[in-house]
Structure 1
């Protein structure tokens, strides 16, 4: 019979599946899964679990909100935060809110076992004949979109941590959007970004493992000066465009590296270009219209806490890249 109860809270089916598979094989535990922070709170109010494995980036009520509510309501609860947001400030904040430990995604099974052992969750006297109950091994079905969104979630967290270190700020992370767009929809979306809305876009091509695409980093012109000040950019020596190109290379490179590491591929990046100066949205669409009949579009909207700075990162994978991506994700989705 199970000796411990475990609540896994993550809005991603992929993340919950990875967590369940990472649990010690001989740990007699009963696992319950929820996909939102509010569900987790409701569950814990009704019947506390021995341990909560908690994601941070979730819609409506995120992991910070769950931890704050547990603390405010005096609900004594062991919590291990498992997140793609690996900023030092994120780790400090969850510890301050009462989390027992922090593990980065995708979770390392040995680190998870060690953490469980440190928290006294594993019964050292249990024999190896004990197995996890069948109901604890119920794994969610994972779609391509969910699996790739989780891969991007981890990658964007790594990119944000790098940006946070460079700028000395805290980057607020969203849930990435992953969609298949027809070329006409893509054209409309990108054209809007260039149609006198005070936006500047930097474009950088990438290729690797038979996959290719374009990364776009879109800035609000009104926030470029604030970004330059944050980066301590010397305006008299360098233009704001050079600053944006430099930042784009760092952020796009970090995000692509995070994706590549999880998929076991390597991406080469082209030189970044400011759209409108060296290329236009229309020209980008014209060159890629055949490859972009159906585009896998990933959108990540970053914002910097305490500053009026927001920017969008778009990763546009060509239609021919989708089957290759699907193959790379298959082992995660099975």
Structure 2
């Protein structure tokens, strides 16, 4: 569903703007009292359209627009303000706003602006381009090949670190890229993390692998690897890269072997250290819109280690992978 975020420090203004939206428009409406709240909402994937006031406490509209641009947040902005100075209009346009509407909002004018920018068709376009739900048999097959692949990765990790690895059932979802943060909501609420990303490509298939390690795990990882002395940021980064190399490489190899394809892997890239997972995802947006996401959570018995491996396959990869999986099902 298309979402609209209304940002204004005035409760009356927020309600007035909401009432001016087309009544038959199938949208989810969210509210923010200042730019800081708006940025948090946008980071969480709320607000494909932002109706933004300029004069607000904490973070005003200008700073909000600059932050949206700097973080490359995925939203379109219409400024709604009582400041009708020509310079104000020019400033917000330079900062990336689509248009400028004077307060108090007139429903007819708002409708004209949204129609001119084709915003009313956005929710329909989203619905038309959605994938059909995953067939239950295909989903089960994705889970099974991932189970086998993660088992191999876990075995490699166990032998390398001399530990017992807990392997839960992998989660398989077809989602919007903007919803990725929801996969890691537990970590997001109370943990800072460090993350590595590695791209991969094969015949008709491409994607990204994310290896995310909670900061609270780094001390125990150092113990397991018999690292002595101070574990500074550089040493923590080396630990993260070592774990990511084992998990990503072995897991992708297991999936590729079962699908009878081969993957070429790119160079691993550090997405961030000691950051909130939402910030990492927001500042490292993927180039596609929808993804087949396979989430695997690894735990080590006797240690406080939480490691998330997420395999993200592009929407275009689905055709090739579903074809391969259909043939696997025929062999059973």
TM-score by length of 1: 0.52
Deviation at 1:192, TM superposition (A): 8.2
Q: Which has the larger radius of gyration?
A: 2
Say yes or no: does 1:250 pair with 2:243: no
User: Residues 179-203 of structure 1: CA distance to partner in whole angstroms, max 9, x if unpaired?
Assistant: 1012232255469866773111211
Match of 2:299 in 1: 303
Asked if structure 1 preserves the Cα contact closer than 8 Å seen for 2:199 and 2:265, the reply is yes
Corresponding residue to 2:148 among 144, 154, 173:
154
- Asked whether the 8 Å contact 1:191–1:282 carries over to 2, the reply is no
Q: Which 5+ residue runs of structure 2 have no aligned equivalent?
A: 1-134, 274-278
- Taking structure 2 as the reference length, the TM-score comes to 0.53
2: CA distance between counterparts of 1:320 and 1:243?
33
| Deviation digits for residues 274-298 of structure 1 (CA, Å, limit 9, x no counterpart) | 2126x9422432x41xx2x221000
Q: 1:142 to 1:182 in 2, by over 3 A?
A: closer
SS in 2 for 1:239: helix
1:204 touches 1:272 (CA, 8 Å); kept in 2? yes
Matched, 1:264 2:244: no
Shift of the 190–169 alpha-carbon distance from structure 1 to 2, 3 Å rule, reads closer
Alignment of 1:158-307 (within 5 A): 158-186=152-180, 189=183, 197-234=191-228, 239-276=235-272, 280-285=280-285, 287-288=286-287, 291=288, 293-307=289-303
Cα distance in 1 between the residues matched to 2:293 and 2:235:
30
Match of 2:325 among 325, 329, 333: 329
How far has the Cα of 1:158 moved from its partner?
A: 0.3
Contact 2:256 2:262 in 1 (8 A): yes
Shift of 1:231: 1.5
| Equivalent pair of 2:297/2:309 in contact (CA under 8 Å) | yes
**Take 1:283 and 1:157, find their aligned partners in 2: how far apart are those partners?**
31
| Structure 2: distance between partners of 1:323 and 1:235 | 50
Residues 180 and 281, structure 2, Cα contact 8 Å, conserved in 1: no
Q: Distance in 2 between matches of 1:245 and 1:304?
A: 17
Cα distance between partner residues in 2 of 1:196 and 1:205: 28
Provide the secondary structure at the position in 1 that maps to 2:157.
helix
Partners of 1:192 and 1:170 in 2: CA distance = 23
What is the number of residues matched between the two proteins?
190
**Ranges in structure 1 where 5+ consecutive residues have no aligned partner:** 1-140
| CA–CA separation in structure 2 for the residues paired with 1:173 and 1:156 | 8
Deviation at 1:146, TM superposition (A): 0.6
- C-alpha contact (below 8 Å) 1:296/1:319 kept by paired residues: yes
* In 1, Cα distance between equivalents of 2:150 and 2:249: 11
Deviations 1:254-274 (A, max 9, x none): 000000111111111112222
Displacement of 1:166 in angstroms is 0.4
Q: Does the 8 A contact of 1:173 with 1:303 survive in 2?
A: yes
Q: Please identify runs of 4+ aligned residues in structure 1 that moved more than 4 A.
A: 187-196, 234-238
1:144 is matched with: 138
Alpha-carbon separation, structure 2, partners of 1:249 and 1:298: 18
Q: Distance in 2 between matches of 1:235 and 1:323?
A: 50
The alpha-carbon distance between structure 1 residues 243 and 235, as it changes in their structure 2 partners (threshold 3 A), is farther
